[in-house]
Structure 1
């Protein structure tokens, strides 16, 4: 392995002579640390960094690597305490790098990376102005670096992330803050940058950075672009990553769950690498609980309990209690359900959309059992089983406007994924008619999905009409996300 890393380092120096500047030296210690970080072996990474500090204390790659360690510590723990404890490190690291060799391509790149990592973390904890400032600095540095060093491929990683996220960002505090700086993104342009890197890095001297590129590419395909190719591209590009990487297990299982490949997610998580070498990652217990619940396996309780017991973070507490409540409901335990809904209201935070939605659902009426089962099975990709709970029913079987609307919405999503476009469109229209004045997301998202069906059929007029219908609906759940996706649909059509 060391021989290989030396060879990679030698290749880097040959292919990019500017890497010869001694104080930005991605040598064997640094490459070993970097590789350990992206396997989530943070203890190993710290050991390599410590060795490098003793051998080459002025190497300005060190503060970048230390920031990676802090970044993944916070990402895996979701801990506000870790965030508060570690955020003070940023300034000293940037100061060390800014005093170094301005003629190196790593000079601006390393500073931009640190700013970009902290932008993502600040946004995660609701500090949107700080996130915006970090993005502004990172974007400016990467733009300048791309002009100075057009052949330095790593510029595309940060620029791609900024372009995708900003190009499809929903309205909100962060978008407002960034707009004051005149920063805009181009989602397709950013995706093209990632695709170029994913294809070309393995054939270049920048191959060691491949895993990081795929980490961000999988994220933006799934959570930002909502791309239909998120699953296929993630599985394709993660295949060459070593099975010893816990990050690989996370990426694959997360994308599988988000894209209805539920059984595959369960298999991946059951085989994930474990041991004291790896950073604790309670979120994976939460993911495994979701995967089991999606197939109506009520033993999912064990995974959710382990998550709550080991989690030191602020996110997914409300959503976990909501799902525990659903399990009680599916078991016929109404008192247990009520108890968990109280926990949803009182425990946890609302930094992310999952927890915000969980709080909304806990405050609403108890869900109809058949609708809940169909919802979970649909999320897992078990379309035929999901349809079995709805096929012998009609709108009049449900008493509330919410349940009537959800019934048509669930039918529409199932028919859509089965390729039954006409039936899906009819169900979506019924959802809109029934729920367009309600606060729930069903009608707006039905209009969004209707637009996608018409777009696929190349019926531009109908597609635009549907996307505009989605945008016109206000004051409902997931409003920003649905509106941003509908606006992206209109951009595609234009």
Structure 2
């Protein structure tokens, strides 16, 4: 009788403990979230501790702790930190599963941790594991939207996953097919856009995150690069005191050929030691200086990045840029030393790293004039880039690969200067010369023609050139260019 009574009391105790668990995104938790999403992680952690003291059974602090680990891993990619922090995602998932499933935050918090875990896994080469976590997050969000249709916090992640799945390149399509996930660029973007522009309470709480994600989707998925930059400016995002927004803006402006703007963002950021120390700032400044044809200034930034960065993404690419900087300066010994580092350091998870390794193995040294034109063009110095090519024709370059790069480079410069017909003709020449070669120029030329026709509203022609990119065989940047082409086709079809 005593044993039965104690067993019943134990059950009552366990039930009461579980019943005490709550999801309360209160003012203290909101303050913690605001600090974390500025990359003030230590300050955010202190607010989390305060929230725990206020209510030890509140599960929102558990979700917020996951943000700290995720941002640390995603931005710094330190293998030593990964061994410690990555297992915590599963531990916290188990804790969150103890919460009341009658709360809309139950599935939402679990999906957030699944996405944190997946994004961290991708950084460390665990693609398959990441795929399953993304699927679990996706299913949790779908179920939550059915159970709590007025809970708008789901929309940010739901729309983002929907957009990303819709543009998975052929190289990874097997994964989404196995996982049974289908997406839509158009529907996903509409969902995220509505959330970003909403006055809903959760849209306000999650503003930092939404304003970080949405420009990326505009830029890469919707090909509205200028609109993404305009969004940053119109929303008057704090690029000085919010390092997450500053990093996003620096990355997008650099990839939008606005090196001068990138330099301004990096140099004007708040230098307080309150922020997570990330080497990406040196990475960005290295590219800025290289694009300005100041290789002697670029190299120290690249070297500082490599000293601080513990991950593998873009390591080969950065060593390759050091190689090219020394090459521009005429220091062949230092350039060769950097080439050797490309062969031995880093990994090949990114297309840029794959190209760096391919060039290093081939002992490829580009035409110096074309290299300078490329860097000036990539930095947004279009007139200066065109001046490099002034008086030159395709026949001035004996090597086939140089003739191909010349017409492609001229096309990109014409395109950036708004000289569309000249750009199209040069892009067509690049396709003619390079469609069956390993360089990326022909595939990128097809994408660029597609984008010109799409902007003109000539969607059938745009689809034709996007498909031409997809039909090309193996080449540099295959996955990323296929993703751009597929996004273009889906946009043109309204999918």
TM-score (norm 2): 0.91
Deviations 1:116-161 (A, max 9, x none): 1111221222211111111111111111111111111110011011
Question: Aligned-pair distance for 1:234?
Answer: 4.0
Map 1:225-240 onto structure 2 (within 5 A). 225-236=222-233, 239-240=236-237
**Alpha-carbon separation, structure 2, partners of 1:194 and 1:241:** 21
Taking a change above 3 Å as real, the CA distance of residues 125 and 392 of structure 1, as seen in their structure-2 partners, is same
Greater displacement, 216-225 / 383-392: 216-225
Taking a change above 3 Å as real, the CA distance of residues 336 and 403 of structure 1, as seen in their structure-2 partners, is same
Deviations 1:267-288 (A, max 9, x none): 1100111222111100111011
Contact 1:234 1:252 (8 Å CA) reproduced: no
Question: Aligned-pair distance for 1:226?
Answer: 3.6
Question: Aligned-pair distance for 1:401?
Answer: 1.4
Question: Aligned-pair distance for 1:205?
Answer: 5.6
**Alpha-carbon separation, structure 2, partners of 1:390 and 1:242:** 36
**Alpha-carbon separation, structure 2, partners of 1:241 and 1:179:** 40
Taking a change above 3 Å as real, the CA distance of residues 467 and 384 of structure 1, as seen in their structure-2 partners, is same
Deviations 1:260-315 (A, max 9, x none): 11111101100111222111100111011111211112211221121112222222
**Alpha-carbon separation, structure 2, partners of 1:82 and 1:74:** 7
Question: Aligned-pair distance for 1:455?
Answer: 2.7
Do residues 277 (structure 1) and 270 (structure 2) align? no
Taking a change above 3 Å as real, the CA distance of residues 99 and 204 of structure 1, as seen in their structure-2 partners, is closer
Contact 1:238 1:248 (8 Å CA) reproduced: no
Contact 1:230 1:255 (8 Å CA) reproduced: no
Greater displacement, 353-362 / 256-265: 353-362
Greater displacement, 333-342 / 410-419: 333-342
Taking a change above 3 Å as real, the CA distance of residues 135 and 368 of structure 1, as seen in their structure-2 partners, is same
Matched with 2:353 is 355
Contact 1:165 1:187 (8 Å CA) reproduced: yes
Greater displacement, 290-299 / 213-222: 213-222
Deviations 1:372-421 (A, max 9, x none): 11111111111100111112111122122111101000011111111111
Matched with 1:329 is 327
Matched with 1:315 is 313
Question: Aligned-pair distance for 1:181?
Answer: 2.4
Deviations 1:69-109 (A, max 9, x none): 10011122122222232111122211211111111111110
**Alpha-carbon separation, structure 2, partners of 1:453 and 1:333:** 40
Taking a change above 3 Å as real, the CA distance of residues 224 and 117 of structure 1, as seen in their structure-2 partners, is farther
Question: Aligned-pair distance for 1:218?
Answer: 2.3
Matched with 1:65 is 64
**Alpha-carbon separation, structure 2, partners of 1:450 and 1:269:** 33
Taking a change above 3 Å as real, the CA distance of residues 242 and 254 of structure 1, as seen in their structure-2 partners, is closer
**Alpha-carbon separation, structure 2, partners of 1:331 and 1:348:** 25
Partner SS state of residue 312, structure 1: coil
Taking a change above 3 Å as real, the CA distance of residues 371 and 183 of structure 1, as seen in their structure-2 partners, is same
Question: Aligned-pair distance for 1:162?
Answer: 0.4
Matched with 1:400 is 399
TM-score (norm 1): 0.91
Question: Aligned-pair distance for 1:68?
Answer: 0.4
Contact 1:373 1:386 (8 Å CA) reproduced: yes
Map 1:64-463 onto structure 2 (within 5 A). 64-173=63-172, 175-201=173-199, 204=201, 206-236=203-233, 239-241=236-238, 243-298=240-295, 299-364=297-362, 365-463=364-462
**Alpha-carbon separation, structure 2, partners of 1:177 and 1:240:** 36
Deviations 1:187-208 (A, max 9, x none): 121111221122114x646412
Matched with 1:464 is 463
Partner SS state of residue 197, structure 2: helix
Matched with 1:489 is 488
Taking a change above 3 Å as real, the CA distance of residues 209 and 144 of structure 1, as seen in their structure-2 partners, is same
Question: Aligned-pair distance for 1:437?
Answer: 1.6
Matched with 2:15 is none
Question: Aligned-pair distance for 1:45?
Answer: 1.4
**Alpha-carbon separation, structure 2, partners of 1:242 and 1:344:** 33
Contact 1:395 1:404 (8 Å CA) reproduced: yes
**Alpha-carbon separation, structure 1, partners of 2:459 and 2:105:** 46
Partner SS state of residue 200, structure 1: coil
Greater displacement, 454-463 / 212-221: 454-463
Gaps of 5+ in 2: 1-19
